[in-house]
Amino acid sequence: MPALSILHATDLHLRQALPGSAGHAVRRSREIPTLLERLGEVVARQRPDLVVLTGDLVDVPHPLLHGDPADHATAMAEAEADYRLLRGWLDRLPCPWRAIPGNHDRLDAFEAAFGTGRETESHHGGFRVVGFEDWEVAGNQAQRVGAQRALFERVLADPDPAPQIHLQHYLIRPDVDYGYPLMYREAADLAAAIERSGRVRAVLSGHWHQGEPPLTVGDTTYSVCPTFCEWPHRYRLVTCTEAGVRIETRAIEAPEARRWRPAVFVVLDRQTPDIDHPTIDEAGARLLLRTVARGWSPVLVAPWEPHRFGWRAAQELADGVARHARALGHELGAAYFVVDRDLDPALRARLPAEGTPTASDLFPRAERELGLDLAGSILVGGGDALAAAARDHGLALHPAP
């Protein structure tokens, strides 16, 4: 009887050679290398037959993600280094592995580490594992087209009798309405073909960071794994047999073991910073350097006017500050984009819920998402509203004793 055990993790959003972190502060890009070492210890204990990663492996900055690498040579080299870091970790595992890219990955940088002749399917434990590298085609929505659609139709129809496991970044089932299109444009068509074939035992996806409980329809179990990059850094153990699929969600960290750290919140030195040349004021720069020896988490606070420039531009601004911080000898750990409480409600409703708090919401959100000890933290810069909110939550205002 065929049997296959899989450790499934997804959406790492890694940055190490790349400065800064993901645009959503809750995604702990800079902590991923350490967390991967801990996940490697899990693999050594559990001894799965296969480890799979289903996309968004590196958090590639938007200018490089959507631009010409010749215009972003430094970032391209850094992205390639981050993919090589991940490839090195995978190669040290005591079992086979599969990794596919997602919508935050840049394919040519990914291929610099993972090669251009990657296998699309392999056999493990009597199962046929097929990986699909699909992409957002229009309106930020993925479609299975061209060679990937041909692969899909071939494996559902060819004579190989082995039950199949499908890997992809995007969602086929269940239906999730988040605002941002998480589902394949033709999700219903893909689901119908899979279920009609009776050949696919499990469909493993990522992309939706919250994850979803496993859903079984006919012979097929759909598993949307929660993200690894957000605390408590979850992954799934998937056991496939001829009789069915068993899935268990686990986490690297337990709630009672969370490490609470102080932070220095550094506010940009002007309300409408230059996106091309963002700066930290002198006091903030000095304090960033001092935090190196004290183990604080440096958190950028960028006052944001979304009616003047968009979400991608705001992230570009944070990445520019991160490069500035690196030149000063330190790495920026996270960034929040603070919006006016009186922002037009229709515009506010279009902003990403993650990472765009008002001044009064900033500190409790950062405490929850980043594991911060606010009573030991400091605010540098900012206006009266941020200062009042900081005092309300027990932060000191710079200069601190």
Whether residue 398 is predicted with pLDDT greater than 70 in this model: the reply is yes
Position 244 pLDDT exceeds 70 = yes
Q: In 3D, which of 213, 256, 207, 251 has the Cα closest to residue 232?
A: 251
Q: pLDDT value at position 174?
A: 97
Among the residues of 60-165, which ranges form H helices?
Answer: 62-65, 73-91, 107-114, 146-157
Whether the bond into 232 is cis, omega within 30 of 0 = yes
- Give me the percent of the chain exceeding a pLDDT of 90: 72
The pLDDT score that the predictor gives to residue 198 is: 95
Question: Can you give the pTM of this predicted structure?
Answer: 0.94
Going by C-beta distance under 8 Å and a sequence separation of 6 or more, which residues neighbour residue 186?
143, 144
Dihedral of alpha carbons 24, 26, 31, 37, sign? negative
Rg of the chain taking only CA atoms, in angstroms: 22
The pLDDT of residue 400: 47
Relative to beta strand 200-205, strand 234-241 is: unpaired
Phi-psi region of 395 (alpha: psi -120 to 50; beta: other; left: phi over 0): beta
Enumerate domains of the chain plus CATH numbers: 3-255 (3.60.21.10), 260-397 (3.40.50.1000)
Give pLDDT tens digits for 196-239.
999 999 999 999 999 999 999 999 999 999 999 999 999 999 99
- Give the containing element (helix H, strand E) for 334: strand 334-338
Confidence band (pLDDT; 50, 70, 90) for 347? confident
- The yes-or-no verdict on residue 48 having pLDDT over 60 is yes
Would you call 42 helix, strand, or coil by DSSP?
Answer: helix
Per residue in 82-94, pLDDT (tens digit) is: 999 999 999 999 9
Asked whether the predicted pLDDT for residue 327 surpasses 90, the reply is: no
Higher pLDDT pick, 284 / 331: 331
* Residue 5: both structure tokens together: 């055990």
> pLDDT, tens digit, for every residue of 171-193?
999 999 888 899 999 999 999 99
Buried b (16+ CB within 10 A) or exposed e, 27-63: bbbbbbbebbeebbebbeeeebbbbbbbbbbbbbbbb
pLDDT at 275: 62
Question: Three-state DSSP class for 290?
Answer: helix
Of residues 236 and 116, more confidently modeled: 236
Has residue 4 got a pLDDT over 50? yes
CB 304 within 8 A of CB 268: no
